[in-house]
C-alpha cells in the first residue's frame, strides 16, 4: 500500500483515491476492479488527477501515465508530450502543454473535450 506520508497532492475518483509523494511516487487505495489503482510502478510524477474510474499522472519529463478504465479512450495519453498538468473527468482526460495549449481524449458526448481553441493557459505555481 505504500507510505502515505510526505504527500504533495491528493485526488479522489469515484471508488479510489490517489496521492503523490514528494519523491515522485504515486500511491492509490480503493476498489481495484477498474484498474485505476494500478500505479505501483509510477515514479518521477509531478502532478496527478483522478477520474471516476481512471488515474493520470505527469512525469518530470512531460510524459503522461494512465491506468484504469479506457472504455472510451480516456487513458489514450501515451503520445502526449510536453505536458505540465492534467485533469481527469468522469470519462475524459485533459492535458496542459508547456506552451499553454490543451489536449484531450476520451468521451465527448456532451462537448466536454471541445478544447481545441484553448491556448495561453498557465499551470498554477507549485507551493513550497
Judged against a pLDDT cut of 60, whether residue 128 lies above it is answered with no
3-class secondary-structure state, position 11: strand
Provide the 3-class DSSP secondary structure of residue 20. Answer: strand
Query: So what's the pLDDT on residue 125?
Result: 66
Separation of alpha carbons 106 and 36, rounded Å: 15
Cell of 21: 509523494
CA distance 4 to 96: 27
In which band, very low, low, confident or very high, does the pLDDT at 117 lie, cut at 50, 70 and 90?
confident
Q: From 3.40.30.10, 1.10.10.10, 2.130.10.30, 3.40.640.10, which CATH number describes the 7-106 domain?
A: 2.130.10.30
Residue-wise pLDDT for 4-28, tens only, equals 999 999 999 999 999 999 999 999 9
Residue ranges of the domains in the chain?
Answer: 7-106
pLDDT digits (tens, 9 = 90+) for 100-109: 999 999 998 8
Which of these, 16, 10, 9, 7, lies nearest to 34 by C-alpha position?
Answer: 16
Write down the pLDDT at residue 64: 98
**In degrees rounded to 5, what are phi and psi of residue 8?**
-105, -25
102 vs 127: CA distance, rounded Å = 23
The 10s digit of each residue's pLDDT in 26-78 is: 999 999 999 999 999 999 999 999 999 999 999 999 999 999 999 999 999 99
CA within 13 Å, CB half, 49: 20
What residues does 95 pair with on adjacent strands?
86, 103
Amino acid at each position: 500500500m505504500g507510505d502515505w506520508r510526505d504527500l504533495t497532492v491528493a485526488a479522489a475518483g469515484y471508488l479510489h483515491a490517489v496521492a503523490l509523494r514528494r519523491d515522485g511516487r504515486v500511491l492509490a487505495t480503493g476498489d481495484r476492479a477498474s484498474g485505476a489503482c494500478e500505479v505501483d510502478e509510477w515514479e518521477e510524477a509531478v502532478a496527478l488527477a483522478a477520474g471516476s474510474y481512471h488515474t493520470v499522472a505527469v512525469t518530470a519529463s512531460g510524459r503522461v501515465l494512465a491506468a484504469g478504465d479506457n472504455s472510451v479512450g480516456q487513458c489514450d495519453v501515451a503520445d502526449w508530450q510536453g505536458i505540465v498538468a492534467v485533469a481527469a473527468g468522469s470519462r475524459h482526460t485533459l492535458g496542459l502543454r508547456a506552451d499553454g495549449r490543451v489536449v484531450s481524449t476520451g468521451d465527448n458526448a456532451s462537448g466536454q473535450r471541445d478544447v481545441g481553441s484553448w491556448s495561453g493557459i498557465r499551470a498554477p505555481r507549485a507551493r513550497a
